[in-house]
Structure 1
């Protein structure tokens, strides 16, 4: 589903920060969101720590669960 990459780029940093912000606002723990999405329990944590290159399919599924447009996960901090 995803590939471990050593150096996070700007896109991964944006996804990490935005996912955490939206997840916390929605009241989900990392483990609970992963469980509801059908992912391994550590998957959301790895995304938020920029340890994984998340797939578009996974971003879409997380965005649906969090009731946001998937593009929200890629917005720069200044557009929040």
Structure 2
């Protein structure tokens, strides 16, 4: 499991499901749009604080951002 890819894929999945653009997610989480893009493109590691900010902005439990597709039940 590549945790950066799992996290990036899940951020993108939940963002799209919620109908948010990268810009809107960035605004809601207090981060920059290019930072969100880098996460979704697997080019960025991320701090625990920012993980929580993104989870809150997406309105999902934090652990769900780390679950591989087969684990999402």
TM-score (norm: length of structure 1): 0.83
Deviations 1:5-26 (A, max 9, x none): xxxx700000011110000001
Residue 4 (structure 1) aligns with: none
Structure number having the greater strand percentage: 1
Whole-angstrom distance in 2 between the partners of 1:75 and 1:48? 15
Aligned-residue CA RMSD in angstroms? 1.2
Residue 62 (structure 1) aligns with: 54
Match among 1, 10, 14 for residue 2 of structure 2 = 10
- Could you say what secondary structure the match of 2:11 adopts? helix
* Contiguous gaps of at least 5 residues in structure 2: none
TM-score (norm: length of structure 2): 0.91
Aligned residue-pair number: 72
- Could you say what secondary structure the match of 1:60 adopts? helix
* Contiguous gaps of at least 5 residues in structure 1: 1-8
Residue 6 (structure 1) aligns with: none
Q: CA deviation at 1:52?
A: 0.5
